[in-house]
Amino acid sequence: MLTILTNGNWIDHLTITAAPNITPSSGIYISSDQDVHIWSVAISGMRTNIWIENSSNVFITGIHLSNNGWPNTPGNSIADPNIYIANSSNVLIQWGQILGQNNWPFGDGEIACYFSDNVTISGTQLFFSGTSAIYFVGCDNSRVENANIQFAGGWGLDIVSGSDNFTAINNSIKYSRLGASIFQETQQTGGTYKWNIFNYNNTSGFANCNGLNITGDPLSMSISGNSANPAPISCGWNN
């Protein structure tokens, strides 16, 4: 594990791989730092490949993450994210490839954000997450743009619990087990979804539609320029 505890670090062109039959807690651990740059790094086999907490101005570009998660057996179905972000601000993840293990219901492989501000995911591929591909809990002023999300084990975008002023723009979301996105309008404000493509999601039939599932009033959101096959683009969600 590479631990970063000082400000102004730059990490580039590095490969971190777990040894056989060993699952380290994380590949890169960033805590209470500022101005960290990670560029062209590949990490495989950790419980959480990148862990970020209590940090700001973290820029992650051109990463390849795969094969993460604690060994899963029945009764040990803890979801381990590829990237974990908590209590942080100004985090940018761009132009990467993030691969889960397609291991629903164990749920490994997502980007998970908790109680952070201004988190942006841009131009990134997220395939085969064992749960929702991107999970935001109380992450304000955040956005997902130009992302390619396929075969998520849950929702493509799971935006809940007070994630105010969220924006999803120009994303392609396909083949999610649930819908392309869930948005809890009853608990947050300012949802914007523009120019997204929602195709062939809700493969389980458990969501209410292929597209954007909304708890609350869709008229309070900005929804325009999206397409969905099958229709509709948005629907209510009360579960």
Phi and psi torsions of 218, nearest 5°? -65, -20
- Region 210-224 average pLDDT: 95
- Region 137-151 average pLDDT: 98
* pLDDT the model gives residue 180: 99
Q: Does pLDDT of 73 surpass 70? A: no
CB 185 within 8 A of CB 217: yes
Q: pLDDT tens for residues 190-200?
A: 999 999 999 99
Q: What percent of the chain has pLDDT over 70?
A: 96
What pTM did the predictor assign?
A: 0.96
* pLDDT the model gives residue 7: 80
Q: Kindly list the structural domains of the chain, giving each domain's residue range(s) and its CATH number in brackets, ordered by start.
A: 2-236 (2.160.20.10)
